[in-house]
Structure 1
Amino acid sequence: MEIEKHYNGKKVLVTGGLGFIGSNLCIRLASLGASVRILNKNPRRLEGSTFNISPAEAKTEIIFGDMCDSGMIGKAVRGIDVIFHLAGRASHVDSMTDPVGDANANAESALYLIEGARKNSPSAKIVYTGTRGQYGNAKALPVKEEHPKNPVDINGINKQAAEDYFLFYSHSNSLSACCLRLGNIYGPRMQMKNKNQGFISWFIRQAIDDETINVFGDGLQRRDFVYVDDVVDAMLLCGMKWETNSQAYNLGGDAYSVLDTAKLVVKSAGSGSVKTTPYTEGHKKVEVGDFVPDCSKLHALGWKPRVSFEDGLKRTIAYYRENKLNYW
């Protein structure tokens, strides 16, 4: 009830609002009575689509443009109460072949947004979504927020740079911001075309198509998974609480080995198969081994995931079977 009251009537900007997490967030915000504005690149098939926000499209304003266009950013942030910054690139593998593009999409764009907010809407609260890739190889499990940041790929470096920008400005009282370091998020509206943008989406696609899921190595490396609705809950909570200012939080869920994950996807889909295969050169370079986050800091705010991995997979698979033509 507290969240519903807080966002009702609020003016909210969601960058990357046509993408996976952003579209789910926009739909929820619209249902809460918020005035939603989306800032997005011109939609391409891998970056998001207006189909993603079709349940709330009539209640949202969409601005298309470059995140590094200061004039456009100024227009987008003016009069806004809360900003959720999700725009950017997510692929660890692709960042190694296009480091400049990744830096532009993740680090440079963040600075343009920060400066735009500082000049045009300094009272707005900003929630930034980073990645567990900022940590690199875990020295101890579970990984706490104080763990050293040693990314193994360009994407992790640029995401960390963006977080540093947000926290620097927040600590200096130029604006209010907090940061979330996301684990493996899954659910409806994920892109399903690029196998380098999150392995869980590709596993689900292959299982639905009754194909063989190739798991790299022995598949025993562990990852955590969070259903997108639970992620939206955490973002909304952080966007309304003053005590989150200048703070970074791990956002994760239950951990499974990659091999067990693939088997569970196949079981949930009732189709597909699983086999292990040697790493490709590109995937081996960005492999970090086991990663399990400690989310007790976020739990202390009152958030915990509500959707189990098994239930979330069933919901996700059902969504794509119903809407396959819009994602394949």
Structure 2
Amino acid sequence: MTDWSGRRVLITGGLGFIGSNLAHRLVEHGAEVTLLDALLPHLGGKRANVADIAEEVRVVEGDVRDESLVADLVADSDVVYHCAAQNDRAHAGRQPQMDVDINAKGTVTVLDAAAASDPAPRVVYTSSLAVYGRPETNPVDESTPARPMDLYGANKRASEHYCRIYHEQEGVPTTVCRLANGYGPRAPIEKGYGVQGTFVAKALRDEIIEVFEPGDMIRDIVYIEDVVDALETLGTHDAVLGEEFVLGSGDPTELLALAETIVEIAGIGRVELVPWPEEWTKIDRGDVYCDPSKLESTIDWHPRTDLETGLRETINFYREHREEYLDQ
């Protein structure tokens, strides 16, 4: 366990899925945590996500696009986890300027503030496997060509380049982490088509889980506690500076099988195959899962949670916190 006592940590997007779970861990390990979140309605950030640590964190409701605010917060930090993102791929196509502003310009705002600080804080950037677009082969790793096929993936890839440039030219200690499909407690449950929370929520509400035909699309599903294990180490390990990593379970999971497993564990809900909506057909990435060997060998990290165990933990969480999440 890393001792974070006395370390000042800023998490952008800190009321979202990744940021709030990371905040719980870092508070537990002694960090002084500040959470910046704009609470934009379609992105899944909720104050309920940190209700049980509300007295132990500082919450700043503000936007990563606010240069002055970000500069002040970054200057007062030892480590910055830049998790803030417009993370809806379909929304990126409908609102391209907003996606550029948050996912590209927002990253530059954070990095520029870090470069202006003395000393510059470490910056860990949470990217996405979406940077690979539709990969020709699987599993993907750090050597796989990044050819994003939508605006969301393109802006995440641009931010990866910004991290590299600020590291090489401005001396900002950056690390890029390309996340697979995370799931677990505090995941957004009202967002379009996704496995992070919507499948679980629909099952627990005894609704139909709609899976796009024929249901054999493959994704890399990784439990949030395993993600947090890796992110915590990426914030302290010197060997990761200036590097890019993929972070996932390394296991391919078919979405139809995932939905059926959720219904089986929950004991409620049902699954139905449906045609692909036109909006999603244009940005279908096909199958994608990753090989996290580089991360495993660099920081001695390994995913510890099998899918069934993680789903049981997730379902139990939402049952225990139904009023805060499912009954809204």
Does residue 66 of the first structure (1) align with residue 45 of the second (2)?
no
Summarize the alignment of residues 131-142 of structure 1 with structure 2, pairs less than 5 Å apart: 131-142=128-139
Mapping of residues 140-219 of structure 1, within 5 Å: 140-196=137-193, 198-219=194-215
- Residue 20 of structure 1 deviates from its aligned partner by 0.7
Q: In the alignment, which residue of structure 2 is the partner of 1:235?
A: 231
Moved over 3 A (4+): 42-47
Secondary structure of 1:103 counterpart: helix
What is the CA-CA distance between 1:142 and the residue it aligns to? 1.1
1:315 to 305, 310, 313: 313
State the AA in 1 paired with 2:246.
N
In structure 1, stretches of 5+ residues that fail to align are none
Aligned-partner residue type, residue 319 of structure 2: R
Which residue is equivalent to 2:222? Answer: 226
1-side partners of 2:286 and 2:42: how far apart?
Answer: 31
State the alpha-carbon separation in 1 of the partners of residues 27 and 128 from structure 2.
Answer: 26
1:26 counterpart SS class: helix
Q: What is the TM-score normalised by the length of structure 2?
A: 0.95
Tell me the CA shift for residue 37 of structure 1. 0.9
Cα 1:46/1:288, change in 2 over 3 Å: closer
Deviation, 1:40, is 1.3
Q: 2:36, 2:60 within 8 Å by CA — same for their partners in 1?
A: yes
Matched length: 324
Q: How many angstroms apart in 1 are the aligned matches of 2:144 and 2:38?
A: 34
Structure-2 change in CA distance of 1:200 and 1:56 (3 Å):
closer
Q: What is the distance in 1 between the residues matched to 2:130 and 2:174?
A: 20
Q: Which is further off, 119-128 or 53-62? A: 119-128
Q: Distance in 2 between matches of 1:292 and 1:18?
A: 27
Deviates more, 1:38-47 or 1:237-246: 38-47
The runs of 5 or more residues in structure 2 that have no matched partner are none
Shift of residue 173 of structure 1? 4.6
The CA deviation string for residues 193-248 of structure 1, in whole angstroms up to 9 with x for no partner, is 2224x334111111111122111121112111111111011001111111101111
- The Cα offsets for residues 279-306 of structure 1, whole Å up to 9 and x where unpaired, read as 1101111111111111000010211111
Q: Name the aligned partner's letter for residue 69 of structure 2.
A: M
Could you tell me which of 262, 267, 272 is aligned with 2:264? 267
CA distance in 1, matches of 2:144, 2:306: 27
| 2:282 equivalent in structure 1 | 285
2:56 alignment partner AA: K
Residue number in structure 1 paired with 2:106: 109
Deviates more, 1:182-191 or 1:117-126: 117-126
User: Do the aligned residues in 2 keep the contact of 1:46 with 1:193 (CA within 8 Å)?
Assistant: no
Alignment of 1:35-114 (within 5 A): 35-42=32-39, 44=41, 46-114=43-111
| RMSD between aligned residues | 1.4
Aligned partner of residue 210 in structure 1, secondary structure:
coil
Q: 2:43, 2:88 within 8 Å by CA — same for their partners in 1?
A: no
The answer (yes or no) to whether the contact 1:195–1:201 under 8 Å persists in 2 is no
Residue of 239, 245, 257 corresponding to 2:241: 245
Which range moved further: 9-18 or 118-127?
Answer: 118-127
TM superposition shift of 1:13: 0.6
Q: CA deviation at 1:120?
A: 2.3
> Which region of structure 1 is more displaced relative to structure 2, 42-51 or 23-32?
42-51
In 2, Cα distance between the equivalents of 1:95 and 1:131? 14
Residues 70 and 296 of structure 1: CA distance in aligned 2, closer, same or farther (over 3 Å) = same
Q: 3-state SS of the aligned residue for 1:33?
A: coil
Q: Identity over the aligned pairs, expressed in percent?
A: 35
CA–CA distance in 2 between the matches of 1:294 and 1:230? 15
Inter-CA distance 43–201: structure 2 relative to 1 (3 Å threshold) = same
In the superposition, the TM-score normalised over structure 1's length comes to 0.95
Q: Tell me the CA shift for residue 325 of structure 1.
A: 2.1
Kept after mapping to 2: 8 A contact 1:211/1:272: yes
For the residue of structure 1 that corresponds to 2:159, the secondary structure is: helix
Tell me the amino acid that sits aligned with residue 208 of structure 1: L
* Partner-residue secondary structure (3-state), 2:14: coil
